Amino acid sequence: MTQRTAKLLLDEHRAAIELPVLRGTLGPDVVDTRALGKHGVFTYDPGFIATASCASSITFIDGDAGLLYYRGYPIEQLAEQADFLEVVYLLWHGELPTAEQKLEFDNLVTYHTMLHDQMLSLYKGFRRDAHPMAVMVSIIGAMAAFYPENANVADPHQREIAMFRLLAKTPTVAAWSYKYNRGEPFMYPQNRLGYTANFLHMLHATPCESYEPNPVLVRALDRIFILHADHEQNASTSTVRMAGSSYANPFACISAGIACLWGPLHGGANEAVLKMLEEIGDVSKVGELVKKAKDRNNPFRLMGFGHRVYKNMDPRAAIMRQTCHDVLGELGLHDDPMFKTALELERIALEDDYFIEKKLYPNVDFYSGIVLKALGIPTSMFTAIFALARTAGWIAQWNEMVSDHAHRIARPRQLYAGPGRREFVPLDQRG
Ligand code: CMC
């Protein structure tokens, strides 16, 4: 097949620059602009509105059609039929595991969940009210000091060990940040429990009181993990790739991803949604809030609405909406005022011209906060749970990048908008 090209005419007196057009397996074609630098120009796309930052075989999103695939499998099928670790195996290896591979994978994760004992001292340096995300950024980053051998990212074996350490220990790191907030003793992982049940155990059990996880609630949380596991080149994943592009230590790279995820426009949205619903307080006030969100002179936004890529219903939101009903039904909370407020907000926004025109639909975080609250998880832990789940995807994306022999350090260029050259004026001569 002949190579398709795009022509860029920079100046009518010069010949057009021909740029190859690359075709992926799915999704839009991509104009390969790498050669432009030789012609003395760069592309300008702050916020990466129309820029593919890399080639990846892990996750595919069609935002207009509302599709999300992990390694080709629709998210609906995975959320319905797989468990989280099965999905992680798929993200990392590209194929679903056989029963034997799954058992081996689950065992490896289970037996690496404990933290190095010295890490306890790190926790104790924090104020008791430290936000769990602040603790996670630090403790995950600090793991680089505990496992220095994993810094050798050129060695696939060291990379693999780091991947298992990160996946297995992140739930412990997250659960302990909550225990520390509460002033309760840290609960050690239990090898008899699965990944998700174990996390709930470390969160809710105390040395005086065991915690028997309800299978419906474990399944709901497992589904939240699956839905958040990867989402192609979002801000935090791109941050992990950017940090990892210098072959930095993997623990430092994931810590950078956690830092980026924390923001309210990204992973912090689930916490922000719940705070917003709490503030509304009453179904009758929903209209007022929608009006505020539409006011161009007011920076307020409805948290949990809109997405850079989805211009249709976020498929994860549709699944999470159903999970929300299941969990509230199981717990007899269908009349929960917050859930009623959320449904009313969803109804009004979906019928409103402003939201229809701008294609603003509820996103996954609109519902996940309600489910997490029903599971007895405190609001401050919501983003930490997103980070825990997304660690699986960050690791897959990091490993894909580092193992690519054609890899180069990420080094964006800029459109310089500052002053031109000027001469230094000594302090005593400045007016
Ligand atoms: N409420 C009211 N107006 C909105 C909202 C909202 N939630 N989101 C976007 N808009 C408006 C925005 O004001 C802009 O209007 P105009 O064209 O008049 O200037 C237009 O819609 C396009 O918005 P944008 O900011 O250019 O879109 P973006 O792609 O840069 O931002 C977003 C995407 C998710 C940051 C944004 O929709 C938002 O701030 N949403 C609320 C936060 C949120 O729920 N974030 C979670 C995202 S899903 C989880 C994840 O993947 O991290």
pLDDT per residue as tens digits for the range 143-179: 999 999 999 999 999 999 999 999 999 999 999 999 9
**Token reading at 383:** 């983003």
Told to judge if 32 belongs to the known catalytic residues of this protein, a careful annotator would answer no
Pocket test for ligand 1, best of 261, 262, 308 (most atoms within 8 A of CB): 308
Backbone angles phi, psi at 16, to 5 degrees: -65, 145
Q: What is the pLDDT of residue 93?
A: 98
> Would you place residue 312 in the very low, low, confident or very high pLDDT band (cuts 50, 70, 90)?
confident
Is the pLDDT assigned to residue 315 strictly greater than 80? yes
Burial 108-127 (b: 16+ CB within 10 A, else e): ebbebbebeeebeebbeebe
Told to judge if 93 belongs to the known catalytic residues of this protein, a careful annotator would answer no
Q: Residue 27 — left, alpha, or beta (φ > 0 → left; ψ -120 to 50 → alpha)? A: left
pLDDT tens digits, 76-88: 999 999 999 999 9
Q: What is the pLDDT of residue 210?
A: 87
Quickly list H helices, 22-155. 75-81, 84-93, 99-110, 119-124, 132-146
Q: What is the pLDDT of residue 326?
A: 87
pLDDT tens digits, 254-280: 999 999 999 988 888 888 888 898 888
**Whole-structure pTM value:** 0.92
Q: What is the pLDDT of residue 107?
A: 97
Q: What is the pLDDT of residue 270?
A: 85
> Would you place residue 1 in the very low, low, confident or very high pLDDT band (cuts 50, 70, 90)?
low
Quick one: which atom of ligand 1 is closest to the CA of 306? 37
Q: What is the pLDDT of residue 102?
A: 98
Q: Whose CA is nearest to atom 39 of ligand 1?
A: 265
Q: What is the pLDDT of residue 12?
A: 74
Q: Residue 181 — left, alpha, or beta (φ > 0 → left; ψ -120 to 50 → alpha)? A: alpha
Residue 356's CB is within 10 A of a number of other CB atoms, namely 12
Of 12 and 70, more confident: 70
Q: Whose CA is nearest to atom 24 of ligand 1?
A: 308
Is the pLDDT assigned to residue 333 strictly greater than 90? no
Please check whether residue 140 is in contact with residue 251, taking contact to mean a CB–CB distance below 8 angstroms: yes
Q: Which residue among 62, 365, 404, 407 is the active-site one?
A: 365
Q: How far is the CA of 303 from the centre of ligand 1 (A)?
A: 9
Rounded mean pLDDT, 86-114: 98
Please check whether residue 318 is in contact with residue 376, taking contact to mean a CB–CB distance below 8 angstroms: no
Residues sharing a CB contact under 8 Å with residue 168, sequence separation 6 or more, in sequence order: 108, 109, 110, 111, 112, 113
Q: How far is the CA of 94 from the centre of ligand 1 (A)?
A: 32
Distance CA 365, CA 371 (A): 10
Is the pLDDT assigned to residue 284 strictly greater than 90? no
Specify the amino acid at residue 320: M
Which residues lie across from 61 on neighbouring strands? 68
Please check whether residue 99 is in contact with residue 144, taking contact to mean a CB–CB distance below 8 angstroms: no
- Of 167, 135, 161, 138, the closest CA to residue 149 belongs to 161
Please check whether residue 188 is in contact with residue 169, taking contact to mean a CB–CB distance below 8 angstroms: no
| DSSP, res 285 | G
Rounded mean pLDDT, 388-413: 95
Q: Which residue among 307, 336, 353, 405 is the active-site one?
A: 307
Distance CA 20, CA 59 (A): 24
Q: Whose CA is nearest to atom 50 of ligand 1?
A: 266
Rounded mean pLDDT, 337-347: 86
Pocket test for ligand 1, best of 274, 313, 357, 360 (most atoms within 8 A of CB): 360
Q: What is the pLDDT of residue 346?
A: 87
pLDDT tens digits, 48-62: 999 999 999 999 999
Distance CA 256, CA 238 (A): 10
Give all strands (DSSP E) within 293-388, no chain letters.
none
pLDDT above 70 covers a percentage of the chain that reads 100
Return the sign of the alpha-carbon dihedral for residues 416, 422, 426, 427: negative
Please check whether residue 265 is in contact with residue 273, taking contact to mean a CB–CB distance below 8 angstroms: no
Q: Whose CA is nearest to atom 21 of ligand 1?
A: 358
In angstroms, the Cα distances linking 177 to 248, 257, 382 are 25, 18, 12
Is the pLDDT assigned to residue 226 strictly greater than 80? yes
pLDDT tens digits, 194-212: 999 999 999 999 999 888 8
Q: What is the pLDDT of residue 429?
A: 96
- The H-or-E segment that residue 401 falls in is helix 382-402
Q: Give the chain's mean pLDDT.
A: 94
